[in-house]
Amino acid sequence: MGKRILNHGADWMNDPIDTQALLRLGERVASYTPRVREIETFWNDPTLQEVQYFFAILEDPQAPCQQRMGWLPRLDPPVTRQAIMEDMDLSLWAQLVLIDRRMNAGLGDMWTPSLWPLCGNSQCTGAFGCQDMFTDSMQYPWVHPVVDKPEGVYSLSPDLRKSAVAQRILRAIDTWREQTHDLIPIRVPDLQGPNTAASQVLGAIQSLEMVMTHPDELHRFLQLYTDVTLEWIRQEVAAAGDNVYWGTFHVRLPYRHMAIAGDSLVLISPDQLREFAVPYYTQLAAESDGLCVHYCGGNTHLLPVLKEIPGFKGVDSQFSLEQYPVAREILGPEPIILTLILDGPPGSTEVRPEFLRQYLEMIRGDRTIIWLRARTVDEARRLEEMVHTYGR
């Protein structure tokens, strides 16, 4: 595998993990326990109405895998996303470096350290035969459909044992727990919702057409996928043990609170949502003590239906200045709105101070978690000061 040289910081990647260094890192991770309790209380106590915040400190744009991981600084030489996903030793070493450095930033946001065995999002679709395909080693992989016609769902026989990604995650969790002596939480679960999975296994266009043309076949797939997801959650949580991190890259959730991505939900109507999504999200919610639903775009037509799901605790999206008041009016005061604050074209990370000030003044006193991107620690500190000045 060869030597990997870092510019500065803890040298986790060049030598075997040093026990004493690991213990010191573990003590620092444990010091976040009070903050974890604050986060759990914020989610579970609807009387708490104060803006919370999270910083994703970005990397150089030529290292997008580290952008999504959200830590600073970049590794030298750069690490590709494909390598991070396929080499679990590399993933562990890189994350130890980046966790160490992220803690050194000294920010007071909602970030808490954890190890994330992210290998793409096909752990459950892999049970249906889907395989990750990297067309660019710096980008996320694609998953190609395996069902070419609606009637093909009747021949599906999903099995997590044939999902290479699922098995790699389980091996990584087992190995990482042993190598780190359970000192750093393992982040689980990382889930795609059934409707988004349908676009992967059945194809984006075909899965949407089936809402109208083959509803029975679509329901069959959605139930199969829900069953596999429930099995996966149990396997992953059992593998992670007691020191488990529930939540997403964006924010930690309370124990046994589940985050599910449902980007494909924005493409169907509220009535279709009730028929083709709510029954399956309800089954997933029954496995947890709370549910947070992610989708991109800040669309609000989903919210009247999503808030009816038992255990619904919040929504994770990107709500504009115009969308946020509509979302809050629909949801009422108790559910949490987790929003990435965007101020510019797609891919832009800059937020103008006047825009952030306007946003913070709008959400002051709300049960809101904002997600801000910063390219440097100094920039993060400037944004943090604005949060405290205008959002508290």
Taking only Cα atoms into account, the Rg of the chain, rounded to an integer number of angstroms, comes to 21
- Work out the pLDDT band at 118, boundaries 50, 70, 90: confident
Is 14 among the domain residues? Answer: no
Q: For residue 226, with 0-12 CB atoms within 10 Å meaning exposed, 13-18 middle and 19 or more buried, which class applies?
A: buried
Confidence of residue 62 (pLDDT cuts 50, 70, 90): very low
- What does the pLDDT read at residue 63? 47
Q: Whole-angstrom distance between the N-terminal and C-terminal Cα of the chain? A: 49
Q: What is the mean pLDDT of the chain?
A: 88
- Domain membership flag for residue 144: yes
**Inside any domain, residue 128:** yes
Residue 180 lies in a domain: yes
Cβ-based burial of 41 (10 A; exposed 0-12, middle 13-18, buried ≥19)? exposed
Range of the domain at 165: 19-390
**pLDDT at 64 > cutoff 70:** no
Q: What is the CATH number of the domain that holds 95?
A: 3.20.20.210
Between 290 and 374, name the one with better pLDDT: 290
pLDDT at 345 over 80: no
User: Is it the case that residue 113 has pLDDT exceeding 50?
Assistant: yes
Burial tier of 157 (Cβ tally within 10 Å: 0-12, 13-18, 19+): exposed
The dihedral built from the CA positions of residue 85, 285, 228 and 201, taken in this order, carries a sign that is negative
Mean pLDDT across 344-373: 88
Residue 374 has pLDDT above 90, yes or no: no
| Nearest alpha-carbon partner for 319 in 307, 330, 311 | 330
- Determine the angle formed by the axes of helices 353-363 and 323-331, rounding to 10 degrees: 20
Mean pLDDT of the 303-315 span: 95
In a domain, 342, yes or no: yes
Question: What is the value of pTM for the model shown?
Answer: 0.92
The per-residue pLDDT for 6 is 35
- Measure the CA–CA gap between 42 and 36, rounded to whole angstroms: 10
Quote the number of domains for the chain. 1
Q: Is residue 313 part of a domain?
A: yes
- Alpha-helical (H) ranges within the chain are 19-30, 33-44, 64-69, 81-86, 88-104, 164-180, 194-201, 204-213, 215-240, 270-276, 278-285, 303-306, 323-331, 353-363, 377-390
Q: What tens digit of pLDDT does each residue of 12-57 get?
A: 766 678 888 899 999 999 999 999 999 999 999 999 998 999 988 7
CA-CA distance, 290 to 285, in Å (whole number)? 7
User: Among 59-63, 192-196, 220-224, 285-289, which is the least confidently predicted range?
Assistant: 59-63
Cis amide leading into 353 (omega within 30):
no
For residue 201, is it within any domain?
A: yes
Query: Using one digit for the tens of pLDDT, what is the confidence trace for 227-270?
Result: 999 999 999 999 999 889 998 767 899 999 999 999 999 999 99
Is 2 part of any domain? no
